[in-house]
Amino acid sequence: MKGRNKIRKIMPAAVAVLSLILTVSCNSEGGKKSEMDGFVGNLMKKMTLEEKIGQMNLPTAGDITTGQAKNSNIAEAIKKGEVGGLFNIKGASKISEIQKIAVKESRLGIPLIFGMDVIHGYETVFPIPLGLAATWDMKAIEEYAHIAATEATASGICWTFSPMVDISRDPRWGRVAEGIGEDPFLGSAIARAMVKGYQGDNTFSGNDRMMACVKHFALYGAPVAGRDYNTVDMSRSMMYNIYFPPYKAAVEQGAGSIMCSFNEIDGIPATANKWLLTDVLRKQWRFGGFVVTDYTGISEMIAHGIGNAQEVAVKALGAGVDMDMVSGEFLKYVKRSIKEGKVSEKEVDEACRRILEAKYKLGLFKDPYKFCNPDREKKEVYTPGHMAEARKIAAESFVLLKNEGNLLPLKQNRKIAVVGLMANSGANMPGTWSVAADFSKPKTILKAIREAAGRNAKVTYSEGSRICLDSALSKNITSFGKIFPDITRSDAQMTAEAIKNAKNADVVIAVLGECSEMSGECSSRTNTGIPDAQENLLKALYKTGKPVVLVLFAGRPMTIPWEDKHIPSILNIWFPGSAGGDAVADILFGKTAPQGKLPSTWPRNTGQIPIFYNHKNTGRPLEKGKWFTKFRSNYLDVPNSPLYPFGYGLTYTTFAYSNLKLSSDGMKPDGSITATATLTNTGSRTGTETVQMYIRDMSGSVTRPVKELKGFKKVTLEPGESEQVSFEITDSLLKFYNYDLKYTSEPGDFKIMIGGNSEDVLSADFILKK
Ligand code: BGC
């Protein structure tokens, strides 16, 4: 308070300026672009160069930090106008205190923008994004994002570092957990749904929507050897056809900001890549929002080897970066670089303008505390309604990989042995990047099973083993405070207890796999199987001869060939979030049926990586159904096919596909064809199927993938019921970027495929005539 009074005395003129700004903004905000231009233009006329550069600075307040950066004296910096925004601070009252410093104690009173990694939920955590992708349910994903926005904005956050739409074909890379899988079509649909859920109609007229920040632009999901932060080297054709579409879709949906990636592109880090940030993003895609770096992205370019601190700051600004996350190099070097003629004041003006525009669009000039409402925070965060939705969506994300003899769903009132350290951990449920989660809240799977198993059930529990035997992994799995209880017994002792319980049970539920921090940032693995200690345990449980249900925690496509061969039922639950315990019980006991489908291919072993369904045919393709033929493209030791293909997932009933028909066997670019297949529920329970439509361009001016997803629909059918499922094929579905990167379709033969996954499909042919 003292400090504030002092500043008021010293700068009455500043206060007058501030009130003028606020009055003007109140009248104009939310209005037309010209009004925004006028407002921001007027404000910028009053700003010093230092204040403009200050807007381009995004330090972290130290509440939750990633990376190595240290920050101090944030409040002083805010008062001096050296801060444009802050991130990963939790709580409406804390944020409004900080906002007050900016609004009342800085010369022009420009409000801060507050960001956070609301990646798959705020306090109500939903499944990890890869799990959300497995729902193939765009309404559910939009609903998730709206709930996340509702909670975060009630707590002061108006900007989320999401969606992360990095395509990845490499399960070794730990950040596949945060992404959308391997497919550009599905990924683009998810990108649109998430931006829509976060931003609504892009007007931010209410206070329950926040600005999206699409990341990590670009190609971050393709690091060499799957090692996080590693070099990327990719053809332009691959960029445009496979990796770019989801970012572009998010931009087209109106995403207000974009984050550049850590990796290099053609030898120039994304953060300094003018071709990427200006030519592609701004000129080709007409992106009108602002670009923020990733955490210390600018200073890391010194280690990349493209210049000293000043040089990399100049390169980033020149390339099109508007805001510097954490490195502080803009603050240090931009003014000096203008004097030295290395950058122009115009570039600073443009960057500053874009950031002020974002604040204007969010409504922060009109009401800097628009998103800081402790009443809303009390009422709208972690509500029963949000938890119910999180439970429903979690159940929808689970993928039933195997279910021999219909072991699932389980009958109630039986003797059940629940085994596995993670079955009894609530803190493990949210999964990676759950910045705002309260880890003491999620119900454990064990508790949920106990509640759902029936009054006469007998449920035993044993830890069974550690997560993994001693390795770097065991030390690196507890970030963000998610700590498993201290294990004092040996694995042998724990396993002996588990076996005893298993022998006395009718069925064993083994809750195993990766724990939370084995995926996510800086969590690459070269062995993507179930960690050794748990794998040993599972083998011992299998030997008891009791039926085993494997409930699998997975932050990536895993390699589980032994499990697939021996364990009768495998339910992949990803990291299911705050309400995941109940969702698991709902599925295990058949209250709801699984319906998730894999958004990425699951390999047989890590040597097959990268493996993806939309590959090219090569000149020596292996004949279908064969394992190996000499001088064909294949392996000596493993078939080409994956363990589980893209789009795969079972449920408690069965579906049959028949009678694929096309409305015509030829079309012109201005026409369309309808493809219709009959889907029949051939089992004895109601079920939901995601019907997938793929297209192959049989011959082109450049080689084309053997199939590409071009449509999908979720259909629910009663036992015995059939439905005609149709897809309209238009020229836009046949287009691709050709050798000259022109987006076009080419006349010739096409194949349409429809089925329940990318491998088991019916097909029919047509011709595109031009
Ligand atoms: C991550 C980003 C994240 C940022 C801010 C970085 O380490 O790569 O995805 O948004 O930190 O927390």
Kindly give the number of the ligand 1 atom that is closest to the alpha carbon of 435.
12
Is the distance from the beta carbon of residue 105 to the nearest atom of ligand 1 less than 6 Å? no
Kindly give the number of the ligand 1 atom that is closest to the alpha carbon of 66.
7
Residue to mutate (ligand 1; options 164, 214, 263, 294; most atoms within 8 A of CB): 294
- Cα-to-centroid distance, 116 and ligand 1 (Å): 9
657 φ, ψ (degrees, to nearest 5) = -110, 135
How far, in Å, CA of 393 to CA of 346, rounded? 47
For residue 131, what are the CA distances in angstroms to 420, 531, 557, 704? 21, 20, 11, 29
Cα-Cα-Cα-Cα dihedral of 42, 45, 50, 52, to 10°? 40
Kindly give the number of the ligand 1 atom that is closest to the alpha carbon of 164.
9
Is the distance from the beta carbon of residue 161 to the nearest atom of ligand 1 less than 6 Å? yes
396 φ, ψ (degrees, to nearest 5) = -70, -25
For the residues of 712-753, what is the DSSP string, one character each?
EEEEEE-TT-EEEEEEEEEGGGG-EE-TT--EE---EEEEEE
Nearest residue by C-alpha to atom 8 in ligand 1: 294
Q: Are 226 and 260 in contact (CB under 8 A)?
A: no
- Cα-to-centroid distance, 483 and ligand 1 (Å): 22
- Cα-to-centroid distance, 521 and ligand 1 (Å): 8
Q: Are 766 and 752 in contact (CB under 8 A)?
A: yes
Q: What is the pLDDT of residues 187-238, one digit of tens each?
A: 999 999 999 999 999 999 999 999 999 999 999 999 999 999 999 999 999 9
How far, in Å, CA of 762 to CA of 724, rounded? 14
- Cα-to-centroid distance, 161 and ligand 1 (Å): 8
Contact partners, residue 341, CB within 8 Å, separation at least 6? none
| 66 DSSP assignment | -
Q: Are 134 and 397 in contact (CB under 8 A)?
A: yes
Per-residue three-class SS string for 23-77: HHHHHHCCCCHHHHHHHHHHHHHHCCHHHHHHHCEECCCCCCCCCCCCCCCHHHH
Is the distance from the beta carbon of residue 521 to the nearest atom of ligand 1 less than 6 Å? yes
Q: Which of 546, 532, 543, 467 is nearest to 503 (CA)?
A: 546
Is the distance from the beta carbon of residue 166 to the nearest atom of ligand 1 less than 6 Å? no
- Cα-to-centroid distance, 87 and ligand 1 (Å): 10
Please list the rounded mean pLDDT of every run of 10 residues in the chain (770 residues).
Answer: 32 39 38 90 98 96 43 81 94 91 96 97 98 98 98 98 98 98 98 98 97 98 98 98 98 98 98 98 98 98 98 98 98 98 98 98 98 94 98 98 98 97 94 92 98 97 89 54 70 95 98 93 95 96 98 98 98 98 98 98 98 98 93 97 98 98 97 98 98 98 98 98 98 98 98 98 97
Nearest residue by C-alpha to atom 6 in ligand 1: 295
Residue to mutate (ligand 1; options 68, 88, 521; most atoms within 8 A of CB): 521
Is the distance from the beta carbon of residue 178 to the nearest atom of ligand 1 less than 6 Å? no
pLDDT value of position 62: 58
Is the distance from the beta carbon of residue 608 to the nearest atom of ligand 1 less than 6 Å? no
Kindly give the number of the ligand 1 atom that is closest to the alpha carbon of 213.
10
How far, in Å, CA of 250 to CA of 255, rounded? 6
Is the distance from the beta carbon of residue 300 to the nearest atom of ligand 1 less than 6 Å? no
Is the distance from the beta carbon of residue 66 to the nearest atom of ligand 1 less than 6 Å? yes
Strands (E), 199-247: 211-217
- Cα-to-centroid distance, 295 and ligand 1 (Å): 6
- Which active-site residues does the annotation give? 294
- Cα-to-centroid distance, 172 and ligand 1 (Å): 19
Kindly give the number of the ligand 1 atom that is closest to the alpha carbon of 64.
12
Is the distance from the beta carbon of residue 295 to the nearest atom of ligand 1 less than 6 Å? yes
Report the half-sphere exposure of 626 (CA within 13 A, side-chain side).
Answer: 12
The number of beta carbons lying within 10 Å of the beta carbon of residue 399 is 26
- Cα-to-centroid distance, 247 and ligand 1 (Å): 17
Is the distance from the beta carbon of residue 704 to the nearest atom of ligand 1 less than 6 Å? no
Burial of residue 607, with CB atoms counted within 10 A of its CB: 0-12 exposed, 13-18 middle, 19 or more buried: exposed
How far, in Å, CA of 402 to CA of 570, rounded? 5
Kindly give the number of the ligand 1 atom that is closest to the alpha carbon of 259.
10
Residues 401-413: b if buried by 16+ CB within 10 A, e if exposed: bbbeeeebbbeee
Kindly give the number of the ligand 1 atom that is closest to the alpha carbon of 216.
9
Nearest residue by C-alpha to atom 4 in ligand 1: 295
- Cα-to-centroid distance, 215 and ligand 1 (Å): 9
Structure tokens at 358: 């974002």
Structure tokens at 343: 């950058």
How far, in Å, CA of 598 to CA of 560, rounded? 15
Nearest residue by C-alpha to atom 11 in ligand 1: 295
How far, in Å, CA of 424 to CA of 676, rounded? 47
Residue to mutate (ligand 1; options 58, 65, 71, 161; most atoms within 8 A of CB): 161
Q: Are 95 and 89 in contact (CB under 8 A)?
A: yes
216 preceded by a cis bond (ω within 30 of 0): yes
Residue to mutate (ligand 1; options 58, 64, 66; most atoms within 8 A of CB): 66
- Cα-to-centroid distance, 294 and ligand 1 (Å): 6
pLDDT value of position 16: 39
Is the distance from the beta carbon of residue 215 to the nearest atom of ligand 1 less than 6 Å? yes
Structure tokens at 583: 């969702």
The number of beta carbons lying within 10 Å of the beta carbon of residue 728 is 12
Largest CA distance in the chain: 86
Cα–Cα–Cα angle for 665, 764, 240, rounded to 5 degrees: 90
